[in-house]
Structures are given as structure tokens and as C-alpha cells.
Amino acid sequence: MERFLINGQKPLSGEVYISGAKNAAVAVIPAVVMASDVCVIDNLPNIEDIRSLKDAMENIGAKCEYLSEHSLSINPTAIKSYIATTDSVRNMRASYYLVGALLGRFKKAEVALPGGCNFGNRPIDQHLKGFKALGAKVSIENGIIKAYADELKGASIYLDVVSVGATVNIMLAAVFAEGITTIENAAKEPHIVDCANFLNMMGANIKGAGTDVIRIIGVEKLNGARYTIIPDQIEAGTYMIASAVTGGDVVVRNIIPKHMDPLSAKLSEMNCEIIEGDDYIRVKSNGNLISTNIKTRAYPGFPTDLQPQMTALLSVAEGTGVITENIWENRFQYIDELKRFGCNVTVEGRVAVVEGGAKITGATAKATDLRAGAALIICALAAKGQTIIENTRFIDRGYECIEHKLRNLGADITRVDKNGKISENTVLIQKVN
């Protein structure tokens, strides 16, 4: 029931520190299920999805303890249950990684079908195909994924589509499979490399993560480990776009600039100045943005998770921009909300044509999913007057302390509760045990 109130047209300036990557953390935490000792995960983002996953881990018996706001100790030795069907599992997408991890550890898993952002059909056939190839019997009954194996044996698996989720899930299940598993046409996202690095640190034998062929030689045991999650590419990109849209000058710190190449290239084309350092990117914009075209692709292509934010940016640029969404069949649902600001966008199937130069004004709009929510914030920062953004809970799933970070850069943004009272950032309230 919380809302953001944003008064736009304040150029952002200063420095923002990027949190750990959500999509890496949600793969690394389930991987701990297979460890034989305590693991400590550092640089975890303090976001709703991580708290849901922690609940899910506790529900199967893991002992979790926050050592600090961003460090979680997880003791998996007491995990006895291979069944994960609670609401915390149902409410998020990445809980499906528990299937691969529990199957790896117990040779059996029962996990509720995942929820998460709704932008059309989100099949998991490639995950299931991988588990079957490793020797599991797999079924979906009453909304629960069930996978059972007498033994897991290495196999050669070719993914029909490049899938982040299937690549990670098969990698997890294959860690203890006897012999060699190869995943061909694997996804190459930085979070896949991060998860593989963590598994290898614990004793797994995975080679090729970050290329389209991953080779896993089965091992018998994983040890405990302490691991630091990589910075969040999508959070970083969102602040880079926020700087561009406000005619700002923002240094986005604690990032891996290489991960930002697809966005940096587009922002340069749009007339922003991009200055790269070892672990930061500075985005300077004089407000005179030129339109460009975007085609979303699997990494190292332009990320679909920055597509909504780019639509907002193109709306205020000079000229017409065409966005082609190649990953998700229905990821333009948020456009109706952008139109409330005066954005001029026409959607035809997987293509959105954005007529730039819109004189956008503040509006009341609803976040329909996580990145759609981020796009509304980008619009609000550029709009004349006040914006009210409803459904902040979607934004809290993936952005740590977004209003604090934006306020530090000079934005006028406040979180209010349903009575209009300035509200504590629930994201900051720790559930430290």
C-alpha cells in the first residue's frame, strides 16, 4: 500500500553505490543447499526477493543468520526436507533453483512452481529437459515440480533456447552427477559465471561458464565457502539511465564496467558522455538526447531488464526510437502506464515505436512489475510536476533503498504509507535473527 511521491526535473549529480546482483544472489543462495558446511554470502542486496529466499531456505531446515546488513551466514547441514512449497517459494521466480540444488543433494525435490514478474508465458521446459537427461523422473502435479532420481549421471544437454534459469538449474543438478555433463547453447550472463565461481570455490568442477558450452565434471562433496556477490548490472544501468534522463552527472560506483557495455554504447549514441574507470562509470548528459534503436538479446546483448527504463528515456529524446523485445513475448504491458505521463509509444507485437520529444508531466501510475516500476521512476524524474507511483512492493523486490540512493543524488522522492504519512523504508528494516 506504500507509494512513492516524486517531484521531477531535478538534474541528478553525485555518486551512487551499487548493491550486489539480485539475479546472482538468487542462484548462489540455493547452491548452498549442496554444501557440507556453513557458507557466508557477502554483498547480498537487501531486497525483498532475498528475504523471501532466506525464508524458503529456513523452511527446509537451513539455519540462516545475518552477520551484517549484506552478509548472510547459511548453515545447510540441518536441511532435512526436499520439499519447498511455502508462499515464499511460490511468490518468487528464482525459487526454482531449489529444484536443481535439492535434486543434487537428495536426488529428489518437490518445489512449488515459481511466481515472479508476470510478462507472459514463462516456460520451464528446458530446466525439466535437463533434469531428465541427468536421469531424473520429472512431473508437475498440482502446481508442484517433482523430480526423483535413483542416481544422477552426466549427460550432454543442448538448450533449445538460451535460458539463464535452465543453465543455472542444470549446472546445480549436475555438480554431483557422476561423470561429465555438458550444457550447450548455455546462457552467458555474469550471474551464471558468479554462480559457477561460487560452486567451484566450494569444490565443484565447472569450466566454460560465460561461454556457450559449460562442462561439469561431477564431484562427491562441496565444502563451505565465503563468497562475495558481483555488483548488479541492472541496478547500475537504471541509475545510468536516471542520470541521462535528468541531464545529470552521476558516478555509478562499485560496478564491473564491462558488464555495462551494451548500455554504455547506447547512451553514447544518445549523446551522453560516458567516462569509465576500473569500478565505476560516470554518465554526463546535457539533456539533449538523440533517439536510438534497441534490440534486447541474451548477454552480451542489450538486457531485457533495462528495456522498460530505455522506453522512458527514449520518450524524452529527439527523434523516433524502435525497441524490439526478443526475450519476453509480453514485456510491453507497462506502456499504458507510461502513457499517463504523455509518452508517445505504439506497440505492435514485440516492437515498440517510441516517438521522442514528449513533454512529459507528472502522473499517478502503477508499477506492474519490477523493471516496469523502475521505468515509472525514470519517467517521474524527467516529468514536470508531481508523480505518484503505486505498487512500490514490486520495486522493493529488486532495488535496495532506491529512494535513499536517488535522494542522495538530488532527487525529490518520498515513500508514503496508505494514509499519506512519510513511511519508514521497509527495505531497511532488517529481519536479523
Residues annotated as catalytic are 117
Exactly one of 106, 302, 328, 334 binds ligand EPU (CB under 6 A); that residue is: 328
- Nearest CB to ligand EPU, comparing residues 164 and 338: 164
- Crossing angle of the two packed helices 97-106 and 22-31, in degrees rounded to 10: 20
**Helix axis angle, 97-106 relative to 164-174, nearest 10°?**
10
Nearer to ligand EPU (CB atom), residue 32 or residue 164: 164
Contacting ligand EPU (CB under 6 A), which of 51, 63, 93, 404? 93
400 binds ligand EPU (CB under 6 A): no
67 contacts ligand EPU (rule: CB under 6 A): no
Q: Which stretch binds ligand EPU (CB under 6 A): 150-158, 159-167, 264-272, 381-389?
A: 159-167
Alpha-carbon gap, residue 179 to 216, rounded angstroms: 8
Q: Among candidates 200, 204, 176, 237, which has minimal Cα distance to 21?
A: 237
What is the rounded CA–CA span in Å between residue 121 and residue 117?
11
Residues linked to residue 83 through DSSP beta bridges, in sequence order: 110
Q: From the list 370, 372, 380, 411, which residue makes contact with ligand EPU (rule: CB under 6 A)? A: 370
Task: Say whether residue 123 binds ligand EPU (CB under 6 A).
Answer: yes
DSSP-derived pairing of the beta strands 249-253 and 280-284? antiparallel
Note whether 314 and 381 are within 8 A (CB).
no
Angle between helices 261-269 and 233-245 (to 10 degrees): 10
Q: Is the peptide bond before 300 cis (omega within 30 degrees of 0)?
A: yes
Binding mask 288-327 for ligand EPU (x = CB under 6 A): ----------------xx---------------------x
- Residue 53 or 317 having the CB closest to ligand EPU: 53
CB of 337 to ligand EPU, least distance (A): 16
Which range of residues in 50-58, 69-77, 158-166, 211-219 is near ligand EPU by CB under 6 A? Answer: 158-166
Q: Site mask, ligand EPU, residues 9-28, x = CB under 6 A?
A: --------------x--x--
Residue 232 or 403 with smaller CB distance to ligand EPU: 232
Shortest Cβ distance from residue 23 to ligand EPU (Å)? Answer: 3
Region 179-218 residues binding ligand EPU, contact defined as CB under 6 A = 187
Residues 404, 230: Cα–Cα separation, whole Å: 21
Spell out the residues 6+ positions from residue 159 whose beta carbon is closer than 8 angstroms to its own: 126, 130, 166, 167, 183, 184, 185, 186, 187
Binding span for ligand EPU by CB under 6 A among 57-65, 140-148, 161-169, 259-267: 161-169
Among 1, 67, 140, 161, binds ligand EPU (CB under 6 A): 161
Helix orientation angle between 22-31 and 164-174, rounded to the nearest 10 degrees? 20
Residue nearest to ligand EPU (CB): 165
User: Distance of CA 275 to CAs 77, 264, 333, 375, Å?
Assistant: 46, 9, 34, 24
Site of interaction with ligand EPU (CB under 6 A):
23, 26, 93-94, 117, 122-127, 161, 163-166, 187, 304-305, 327-328, 370-371, 398
